[in-house]
Every structure is written in structure tokens, then in C-alpha cells.
Homo-oligomer: A and B are copies of this chain.
């Protein structure tokens, strides 16, 4: 009975103060998305497994929180699978739903379900929780808020650029320092892997994508351990070593790929995005071509982007996105998607660390009427009138010692206490005590509402 109760691993409670800050950040994001005329949708917290499974990759499928079948459905348990240690099959026999793993697959389901009511290009935003059974780390939780902006329609680089501009506008509104937005695309990665004599880029994607953590030498070492040929490894090293401007990197790729049109299409696309981006007046982003960027290759089919945290407070990437054709095309041929995510929790940490949350978050004042056991009528009518103006106020609920009432006010962070006891009633005044400064003033009772309103 006296067992200590806790939040489940990797999850959090939020206090009122944290929620005010989260609400501020969320509102900046939403206001910005709306100004671009993205339209909000919300989808259920869980989806049918048929909607989710097989969209992300096997590792990701295992990180989903599945919902246990209830009632008689649990009789479908595949006991043979359990006995043969086929745990994944056993698990699938016990569940037909799972919590959202991201917001993109639910979006794809939403589009397929509402195809006739949607006008394309469909620009939607969605800010909802997602759940992943990963090992919790600093800034990474099992339940977290995902903030996504996607454009579904024909493949068009203006969609890439509009989303990049959304990043820029949000960071600008938040007052963040300038950050790097790294960009690459799958065709280029496929080209590189072909030159390396690999079947597909997914063979080296997970290693390559660690370049900014373990460095080029670290990547080389890991690839050696995988028995890749020295020729392949050296070729990759020479590509990753290329320094210079985006334009220089692009020209270099053109030389290397000169005989292969498909890979060159990838280079052209990158070139066009970089070139057009200059018209978009980006204030908070440095766009950087980065051949080592190789994330999300189980679903990204074209452009890939990732936003780094500012140098002033480095905590890994704070956003990322890409073009995905297959996720929507499976249900809706001809539709292509491009979308980006904001790393809400990490951006929150940066704002906190760099003191970028506005001071006004706590500017509205709160008032506590002390309880002296007098008749309730007049105090209740004051409370009514103040609350109608959305002024935060309350009456201490019992006539206990004043010290206890003041302790309550202090602990709760009340700004002012209102004192109306016998003495005050007799002399037609009330006293107002500023709990932060300790100063106290006596004011004519007829001015109570106007006085409180003026300082609230």
C-alpha cells in the first residue's frame, strides 16, 4: 500500500509553470503554420496495426507501443508462436492497434480516407503526442509532442522551400540564433553507394548518418569493420572530405556522376533548391549541402533535410524532414509528400537555456482574499466581478490562522493578498499586501474593483 507511485519510465508530468512555457512555444509554432495557410488536423492516439506496420522498418515496428486486445479477442493468442519463441508473431496475435509512432503515417491514412474532401496541394499541420518505446535519454522521451508540417500533392521544389521557410520563420519568431540546415537527397546517396559498388545506400546509411557525431575517421573505421573494400572506403572519404561552398560541392558531384543521369537528377534538384532558396530571404538558416546526411531512408525517397541546434547550446538536431513518395502513393498514386518536424522538447530546452522565453509569461497577477470568517456575500460578489474580467482571484476556503493563509499564498506564488477583516469593514477600507515586496496599502473599499483591475 505504501508503495511509491511514479510516472512510467520515459514519461513526464508537467507543472503549471512548464505548461505556460510549452503553450507559448506551441502557439508560436501554430501561429506561424497558420500564416502559411497550413490547415490543422488531429488524428486518434492509436491506429489499426494494418495502418502502421511495415511503414517505418522492422526496428521501428518493435518500438511501437501496441495495445493489448481486450475481452474475448485475447483468445486469439498464438500460443504456438510463444512456445517457438516467435515473440513478434505472438505479440501481433495479441494486438490489433498501436499508439501513433509519428504523424506522417496517420496523415497518409487520413488522406486516403478523406480523398474527396481534400484540395491538393494539401498543406496540413499537426501537433500531437507520439510514443516510442526507446531508451530514454536527455531530451528524449517515450511520450513527446511532435509538431509536423507537410505538403501533399505533386512533387514540386517550392514545397521543399516553403517548409524550409517555415523553419526560418519559426526560429525568427522565437529569437533563436542562426542554425545550420543540412540538405542532401536520396538519389545522390544512391549514386555514391553505386560508385562504392554497393547494392543500395541503406547498407551504409546508419554509419554515414553518424558522421557529425563520430567524424569522418570514425565512419571509415566502422566501414572497415564491415569489410568494405579499401577502394570503396577511400572513395567515400574523398567525397566527404570535399570542403567549400555549396556550389563547389555541387560542381564536384557533377564531375563524379557525369555519366549517370538519375544521380545527376539528384544533383540538379539540390542545385535548384539551393539556388531558389536565395530568393526566400532566409534570416535564421545557413543551408549546407552535406553528403553524410542519410536519415530516414526507410521512407524518404528524395530531398532530406536536418536542422542542427545552435552553437550556443548543442543538443543534436532540432528538426528534420524529407520527401516521401511511397507512404502516400501506396494508397494514393500520383501524390508525393514533403514534410518537416520540429523537435519540440529540444527547442524548449534551448529557449530555456538561452533565456528566450518572454518575461510576460507570468505577467498577469493573482489575488487571494484572506478568510476572516465574515459573511461571504460581499467577497463572493467581488470575486464574481473580477473573474468576469479574467482576473485570477480566490478566497481562502477556511477561517484558519492568518499565518497559514499567508503560507499558502507564498507557496502558490500569489502576487497580492486582499485583507478585509472586522476592522476594515468598520472603517470602510481594505488592505492590499504585495507578497513579493511585502508592502501594504489601505484603500477605500469602494475602489476595490478598480484598484485590483489596474494592477492585475
Chain A positions within 8 Å of B, measured between CB atoms, are 1-8, 11-16, 19, 31-32, 34-37, 39-48, 50-51, 62-63, 65-68, 70-72, 74-75, 77, 79, 82, 87, 90-91, 94-95, 97, 99, 109-110, 112-114, 119-121, 123, 129, 131, 133, 143, 151, 153-154, 156, 158-159, 162, 169, 276, 279-281, 330-331, 366, 368, 376-377, 380-381, 384, 386-387, 390-395, 397-398, 407-408, 411-412, 414
Q: Are B91 and A44 interface neighbours, CB within 8 A?
A: no
**Alpha-carbon separation in the docked complex, A121 to B407 (Å):** 12
**Contact of A390 with B31 at beta-carbon distance under 8 Å, contacts A44-B11, A113-B7 already known:** yes
Which of B44, B392, B394 has a CB less than 8 Å from the CB of A8? B44
Q: Which residues of chain B are within 8 angstroms of A407 by Cβ–Cβ distance? A: 119
Which of B41, B46, B70 has a CB less than 8 Å from the CB of A66? B70
Q: What are 23 A-to-B residue pairs whose CB atoms are below 8 Å? A: A5-B48, A7-B43, A13-B43, A14-B43, A15-B39, A15-B41, A19-B41, A19-B42, A45-B45, A45-B99, A65-B67, A67-B68, A68-B95, A70-B91, A70-B133, A71-B133, A75-B87, A119-B408, A119-B411, A153-B397, A279-B376, A279-B380, A280-B380
**Alpha-carbon separation in the docked complex, A130 to B65 (Å):** 16
Q: Are B113 and A13 interface neighbours, CB within 8 A?
A: yes
**Alpha-carbon separation in the docked complex, A63 to B407 (Å):** 42
Which of B31, B37, B90 has a CB less than 8 Å from the CB of A366? B37
**Alpha-carbon separation in the docked complex, A384 to B4 (Å):** 53
Q: Are B77 and A381 interface neighbours, CB within 8 A?
A: no
Q: Are B42 and A5 interface neighbours, CB within 8 A?
A: no
State the majority secondary structure of interface residues on A: mixed
**Alpha-carbon separation in the docked complex, A72 to B131 (Å):** 19
Q: Are B394 and A123 interface neighbours, CB within 8 A?
A: yes
Q: Which residues of chain B are within 8 angstroms of A384 by Cβ–Cβ distance? A: 281
Q: Are B82 and A112 interface neighbours, CB within 8 A?
A: no
Q: Which residues of chain B are within 8 angstroms of A377 by Cβ–Cβ distance? A: 279
Q: Which residue of chain B is the closest to A377 with respect to CB atoms?
A: B279
Q: Are B412 and A119 interface neighbours, CB within 8 A?
A: yes
Residue among A75, A94, A331 with most chain B CB within 10 A: A94
Minimum CB–CB distance from A132 to chain B (whole Å) comes to 11
Minimum CB–CB distance from A34 to chain B (whole Å) comes to 6
